[in-house]
Amino acid sequence: MNAALDSAVLPRSLQIETGIAAANAEFVALRRDLHQHPELAFAEHRTAGKVAALLQQWGYQVTTGIAGTGVVGSLRRGSSERSLGLRADMDALPIHEATGLPYASQNPGVMHACGHDGHTAILLAAARFLALHGQFDGTLQLIFQPAEETGSGARRMLEEGLFERFPCDAVFGLHNWPGVSCGHIGCIEGPAMASVDQAHITVHGKGGHGAEPHNTVDPVLVSAHVITALQSVVSRNVDPLDMGVLTVGSIHGGHASNVIPDSVELKLTARTFRPEVRSLLQQRVPALVEAQAASFGARAEVDYRLGFPPVCNHPAETALAREVAQDTLGAARVEQAFRPRTASEDFAFMLQARPGSFVFFGNGDSAGLHNPRYDFNDAILPLAASYWVALAERYLPLQQAAT
């Protein structure tokens, strides 16, 4: 037993920092081991196995197989009925790693390019400290989620009764963020990340000889007008004070310069911060595309697919996260100018079900997320693990002894 960790000599924040630092090398090694062995969505068998074994070793009650490869570690202390969920994601991406690092992926074409190896190691470092030295009263639910990258892991965990089986009064998550100084944190109340939906559009015309356009209905020309018309949705239908993004990222049609094809296919992504704007885009995109095609004598089919909602941070939980961040990292490292991001996260589903907050830890000057040269910055690991521990102890405080 390390006396310094359990005595009242040091302030609690320093006890946590010291205890986390003492075991840091073990978790950096674990993070790099996970990095070397990345696994795609719903195939995180090795990762989940490691997570479950460690949690068990530290005395957690471990449940595996939630949403396939998901793991929950539960730890109850004292008599309080309060409960807290902390979530990490475990999956990697179908990207061929180009970092050249000694611990680069040994699984060709699969890579931890979003830092979920880091998120898993951070929560495990916190889990160990909380089991060995944690001062809390209530139940901790440590949620290791599969398949964040495909946007389906969180939803499937909820469908399989996550919060009924493992009650959580609140749930918190975090993500590393390239381009923000390492050691800094961003906490945002309200929308922090965007919703994501997509539309697959097929414009049906009438193909023919490129030299005889009058005998055809040219879906290439129609598609050009459709794409141009779509620019009016954000500029003319969305309230200028709201955020909306429509990006046509894919267009395919035809093969030869002198042949007008029968059809053209378009794919677009839609991002918003508010449900009202999300519904507006869902309604306006098909209406505009279909009418635009009809005006040329063509026909458009629009398959609009809802992805996931915006990450919407709850006020009280975000205030708590900010306070804990200030105590753990120092007020100067809590980014005042951190802005919401138009990327997306399926933690949004958990925040629809329970109050909570999703925060961003600066990854320093690294390559961007989903880039083959990206790497998680190990310097974040002890800072974020200390944040988790402090948050858990603040949310599940020890009962004051009666005097």
CA pair distance 76, 82, nearest whole angstrom = 10
Burial of 65 from C-beta contacts in 10 A (0-12 / 13-18 / 19+): exposed
Shortest reach from residue 182's CB to Zn ion, in Å: 17
Kind and range of the H or E element at 221?
Answer: helix 219-232
CA pair distance 88, 96, nearest whole angstrom = 23
Task: Count the residues of the shown chain that bind Zn ion, applying the rule CB under 5 A.
Answer: 1
Kind and range of the H or E element at 154?
Answer: helix 153-159
User: For residues 19 and 310, which CB has a smaller minimum distance to Zn ion in the complex?
Assistant: 310
With b for 16 or more beta-carbon neighbours within 10 A and e for fewer, the 378-395 pattern comes to: bbbbbbbbbbbbbbbbbb
The site map against Zn ion for 59-98 (x = CB under 5 A) is ----------------------------------------
- C-alpha torsion 379→383→389→390, nearest 10: 180
Helix axes 380-395, 116-133, angle to 10 degrees: 50
Shortest reach from residue 370's CB to Zn ion, in Å: 6
The verdict on 193 binding Zn ion (CB under 5 A) reads no
CA pair distance 381, 85, nearest whole angstrom = 19
Kind and range of the H or E element at 326?
Answer: helix 315-329
Q: CB–CB of 42/346 below 8 Å? A: no
From the list 52, 114, 154, 391, which residue makes contact with Zn ion (rule: CB under 5 A)?
Answer: 114
CA pair distance 281, 234, nearest whole angstrom = 8
User: For residues 69 and 216, which CB has a smaller minimum distance to Zn ion in the complex?
Assistant: 69
User: For residues 88 and 234, which CB has a smaller minimum distance to Zn ion in the complex?
Assistant: 88
Q: Which stretch binds Zn ion (CB under 5 A): 35-43, 114-122, 188-196, 321-329?
A: 114-122
User: For residues 154 and 264, which CB has a smaller minimum distance to Zn ion in the complex?
Assistant: 154
User: For residues 114 and 238, which CB has a smaller minimum distance to Zn ion in the complex?
Assistant: 114
CA pair distance 38, 36, nearest whole angstrom = 6
Q: Which stretch binds Zn ion (CB under 5 A): 111-119, 191-199, 233-241, 302-310?
A: 111-119
Amino acid present at 67:
A
The site map against Zn ion for 317-356 (x = CB under 5 A) is ----------------------------------------
Helix axes 380-395, 315-329, angle to 10 degrees: 130
Q: Which positions ≥6 away from 370 have C-beta within 8 Å?
A: 93, 95, 113, 114
Shortest reach from residue 311's CB to Zn ion, in Å: 12
User: For residues 288 and 385, which CB has a smaller minimum distance to Zn ion in the complex?
Assistant: 385
User: For residues 114 and 270, which CB has a smaller minimum distance to Zn ion in the complex?
Assistant: 114
Q: Which stretch binds Zn ion (CB under 5 A): 75-83, 107-115, 185-193, 239-247?
A: 107-115
Shortest reach from residue 262's CB to Zn ion, in Å: 37
Q: Which stretch binds Zn ion (CB under 5 A): 45-53, 71-79, 113-121, 326-334?
A: 113-121
Query: Residue 172: which of 399, 401, 11, 388 has the closest Cα?
Result: 388
Shortest reach from residue 206's CB to Zn ion, in Å: 42
User: For residues 163 and 376, which CB has a smaller minimum distance to Zn ion in the complex?
Assistant: 376
Shortest reach from residue 348's CB to Zn ion, in Å: 13
Shortest reach from residue 115's CB to Zn ion, in Å: 6
Kind and range of the H or E element at 282?
Answer: helix 275-295
Shortest reach from residue 371's CB to Zn ion, in Å: 11
Shortest reach from residue 149's CB to Zn ion, in Å: 5
User: For residues 114 and 311, which CB has a smaller minimum distance to Zn ion in the complex?
Assistant: 114
User: For residues 84 and 114, which CB has a smaller minimum distance to Zn ion in the complex?
Assistant: 114
Shortest reach from residue 176's CB to Zn ion, in Å: 8
Which residues are near Zn ion by CB under 5 A? 114
